[in-house]
Amino acid sequence: MHIHILGICGTFMGSLAQLAKAAGHSVSGCDANVYPPMSTQLEKAGIVLVEGFDPEQLQPAPDLIVVGNALSRGNPCVEAMLDQRLPYISGPQWLGETILQHKHVLSVAGTHGKTSTSSMLVKILDSAGLEPGFLIGGVPQDTGQSARLSNSDYFVVEADEYDSAFFDKRSKFVHYHSDTLVINNLEFDHADIFDDLAAIQKQFHHCVRTVPSTGTVIYPGGNKNISAVIDQGCWSQQQPFGEHRDWHYKLLAADGSQFEIVQGAERALVNWQQTGLHNVSNGLAAVIAAYQVGVSLEQACAGLSNFVGVKRRMELIYQDSRVSVYDDFAHHPTAIKTTIAGLRAKVGADRIIAVIEPRSATMRLGIHKDNLSASVAEANQVLWYQNPRINWDINAVAEACPVPAQATESIDNLLALTTAAVSADTHIVIMSNGGFEGFHRRLTECLEAGS
């Protein structure tokens, strides 16, 4: 079957394309913006990429068009598809019906940490010899790929609450029919499609409703936003975790690099490269999920200890005698705060510079702007980039920061400010959920030239 994917370079759709290719289909796709790491993965997989949305690419007609949720009415390919009555489907529906139908599905949902937790879970299951298939909205450094098809009975999927397509406004995760469902946390996000927190909770409850009675919902106990979802009705097994619960963790290092996971009378050690309490919690959730499919606590913790990490999640991209540079995906005040706090716990009194592009749809709408200033309190200096799509004043956020901060509309100026701020024992964390106009590459080139 020839499958053509509209919006193929998004993290979800690009991963889907790789699964379709591995399943034996002829796969092509198009997108407006093509950049690594997804474009590199697709080309390596032998998937034909078309730049732009010229409807001529639909001739001869593919057997099926998979439509990404970034596509909307008015797009030339969408209009041609509808006018010619070509068969089409959303990505999540295709995944659920074609790949997941006969698997034990382990889904990881929540506002933050989905990619990291999914990657941790894959690492644990691989270490136990289960070799699950997976689709993750990022690239785990342990596997080097964002998606894998396998003969395993298990499949790990990052379960996003964003909508499925312009013709299907249900959240993606409703299509997955999870057997093991992790809900890491729940906050207001995606303000471009959700009016308020209650609207998001409604979609999460739709997801909970799809878990069978023999399945398990795993979540942090005491999280009021998640509890409100569970209280609407849950017909599955429940496994809350956290302080005073059967499953919890005990820190052995303040930065989270070493801890014990405790389950009743059992306990096992995790000694890994990650830092931050958010990652400790993610790791605990992954261990509990693996336990549901027969992986022992000791075996799960041994696998987790060898977890390398995920590209663009505090990924170290440059280091010399004076400075370390990290690439991070954080695009929500909570994620920014926990990421910087994790780095602070790791580096102690060293200098931390946060370079932040508020780029997500919710950020561009200014929904979280009142919480941004407080989120960077543990940095030494913050540089904000006001990209052209932001129509609110980031200068006000910079002025309200509890640490020295500046905002700029120029990438060149941002580069100059960043390099000028470097001194001995400096850590620069770049936060954006996009390409940041090549800032990462330009910064590392400047640092290399000056080293």
Check residue 43 and give its pLDDT.
85
Using CA atoms, how far apart are residues 402 and 76, in angstroms rounded to an integer?
47
Position of tokens 């029919």?
Answer: 177
Per-position DSSP letters for 54-98, written without gaps between them: -GGGG-SPPSEEEEPTT--TT-HHHHHHHHTT--EEEHHHHIIII
Using CA atoms, how far apart are residues 158 and 394, in angstroms rounded to an integer?
32
Check residue 87 and give its pLDDT.
98
Position of tokens 């729940």?
Answer: 186
H/E stretch holding 371: helix 369-375
Q: Is the pLDDT of residue 50 over 60?
A: yes
**Of 180-184, 245-249, 418-422, 435-439, which gets the smallest average pLDDT?**
435-439
The per-residue pLDDT for range 353-393, each reduced to its tens digit, is 999 888 755 555 555 677 788 889 999 999 989 887 777 78
Question: Across residues 15-27, what is the average pLDDT?
Answer: 95
Residues with Cβ within 8 Å of residue 261, at least 6 apart in sequence: 247, 248, 249, 267, 268, 270, 283, 284, 287, 297, 300, 301
Check residue 367 and give its pLDDT.
59
Q: Is the pLDDT of residue 41 over 80?
A: no
Q: Which domains does the chain have, with CATH numbers?
A: 2-90 (3.40.50.720), 100-305 (3.40.1190.10), 315-450 (3.90.190.20)
Check residue 312 and give its pLDDT.
75
The per-residue pLDDT for range 134-170, each reduced to its tens digit, is 999 878 888 888 899 999 999 999 999 889 999 999 9
**Of 31-45, 204-218, 363-377, which gets the smallest average pLDDT?**
363-377
H/E stretch holding 118: helix 114-127
The per-residue pLDDT for range 277-329, each reduced to its tens digit, is 889 999 999 999 999 999 999 999 999 999 987 777 788 888 998 899 989 87
Check residue 21 and give its pLDDT.
96
**pTM greater than 0.85 (yes/no):** no
The per-residue pLDDT for range 62-110, each reduced to its tens digit, is 999 999 999 999 999 999 999 999 999 999 999 999 999 999 999 999 9
